Amino acid sequence: MLRLGVLALALLLAPAAPALAAPLMPSQAPTMEDVDPGVDHTGRDAALPAELRKQSVYYRTEQPPGTIVVNTADRYLYLIMGNGVALRYGVGVGRDGFQWGGIQKISLKREWPDWVPPSEMIARQPYLPRWMAGGPGNPLGARAMNLGGTVYRIHGTNAPETIGQAVSSGCFRLVNDDVADLYSRVPIGTKVLVQHQ
């Protein structure tokens, strides 16, 4: 009995190992088709609903200021500011079968990045270009922030109509103005918590 109690206490006190990219249950929210790479829909930013635009909100959390929390169920990314306040950004999330959860850190930041689709994406969509220069038609948009050693990123988009939708291969996309704002606020090493609740 004592041995069981010691084991339980050890498990409680052990530091939690960060999850890398654990798949989540499929979403019941509707999804849409993604826009083809090279198509520039950025002029549609003005049609983005007000609730999906960057705004300061009350947000209760135990996460420290500077942490990014992505909630794939409600399709928002929160940058924790402290004192119960967060900046909330509308995001596009992974479509069914491509949603994941866990803890990562921003490992690389790039402005107007070139796009090289990962081999997993090429295998599913062999018609995709193998490389695309940065610019308005690039699916990564104005900024990209890599998440750890995964293939996932927080990035801009060439298709603002996909914000609030489950359409990506697991990345989180924001309109270009919002991703540029977020990019300017977070350094490499920022903790990113991805959850589905």
Q: Is 196 a catalytic residue?
A: no
Centroid of chain to Cα 123? 22
- Give the HSE-up count for residue 3: Cα atoms under 13 Å, Cβ half-sphere: 0
Q: Which of 88, 95, 155, 196 is catalytic?
A: 155
| Euclidean distance between CA atoms 74 and 64, whole angstroms | 21
Pairing type for strands 100-111 and 22-23 reads antiparallel
Q: Which of 171, 182, 186, 192 is catalytic?
A: 171
| Euclidean distance between CA atoms 126 and 182, whole angstroms | 32
**Residues assigned a catalytic role:** 155, 171
